[in-house]
Structure 1
Amino acid sequence: MPKRNQQQGFTLIEVIAAFTILAMTFMVVLEILSNASANTIKSSERTEIALEAASKMAEVGVTIPIEAGGVSGEFENGHRWDISMTPYEISYEGDTVMDFAPIELYRVTLTIRWDYGDVQERTAEFTTLRALAATYGEEP
């Protein structure tokens, strides 16, 4: 016959070990959730900036004239933008003399700036080429 005085249960070391494993697992899960949350915020921010850039670049040649120089402004959410346009020359190494090109190319650079936190300012830069019909010998 077995003794009935022995209690069935966990020792203090087993309880401490189980609690330690549980705490470490909980910390890992919290770290994963924290990283996922930070990545979601960054992704949302970058998507918003990309949409703003696409919108502003679409205005070049429509509401923003294509000409050497620059313009700047601010979006409704406080993000600031600067557009600079410079003539873009294409090097040509062919046999034919090219005195006339039907278009003029401009390099358009859009820079978007926004505040991140209290101290940091972030920037994103987008560059493209835009064509403009060449104007040779304008008539009065």
Structure 2
Amino acid sequence: MPWINKHQQQAGFSLLEILVAFAILSLSIGVLLRIFAGGGHLTRTAEDYYRAVVTAETLLTGLGVETPLQPGVTQGTTETGFRWTATVSPYPINPQLLGAQAGSPMMNNSMGFLPFWVELSVEWGPEEDPRAFTLDSLRLVMDRSSQGGF
């Protein structure tokens, strides 16, 4: 009986090697899919924040220009589905910090303008767990009842 070299008869990969290779391949593909899916989610979140910032800036710009600035809370919803809340409150100032002298009209809060603190918040997403973005601003409005000023 001739002696046969086992190594010459075996060619290719064993079933176990093929199964291990497929397992490694499937794990690698799964990791790559998660990376790409996570990147898409982050891109969507960044787009939502960008749209919220633009919406908040637009609404804040219109306050006091398109609509009169009055103390209180105003709420609404944009056409794109953002919910917004604007809170306007008088801003206390010390006339002496502005250089007012005793007896001047500025000491009687007759400075010619009224300062208001404006906080505008934009929300989106589900109401039970919303995302939000807030802008704050100090706005000056002409005081029509005042005869004073700078």
Is the aligned partner of 1:131 residue 2:140? yes
Q: Give the secondary structure class of the aligned counterpart of 1:76.
A: coil
Name the residue aligned to 1:105: 115
Structure in which a larger fraction of residues adopt strand: 1
Alpha-carbon RMSD across the aligned residues, in angstroms, is 2.6
For residue 94 of structure 1, report the CA deviation from its aligned partner. 8.0
Distance 2:98 2:66 in 1: 37
Name the residue aligned to 2:33: 30
Distance 1:95 1:133 in 2: 19
Distance 1:47 1:81 in 2: 15
Distance 1:41 1:56, change over 3 A: same
Structure in which a larger fraction of residues adopt helix: 2
Name the residue aligned to 2:78: 75
Q: Give the secondary structure class of the aligned counterpart of 1:107.
A: strand
Give the number of the structure whose alpha-carbon radius of gyration is greater.
2
Name the residue aligned to 2:89: 86
Bigger RCO (CA 8 Å, 6+ sep): 2
How many residues are treated as equivalent by the alignment?
136
Distance 1:129 1:94 in 2: 16
Name the residue aligned to 1:20: 23
TM-score normalized by the length of structure 2: 0.75
For residue 114 of structure 1, report the CA deviation from its aligned partner. 2.6
Distance 1:119 1:94 in 2: 45
The amino acid of 2:129's aligned partner reads Q
The amino acid of 1:53's aligned partner reads A
Asked if the contact 2:86/2:120 (under 8 Å) is kept, the reply is yes
Distance 1:36 1:132, change over 3 A: same
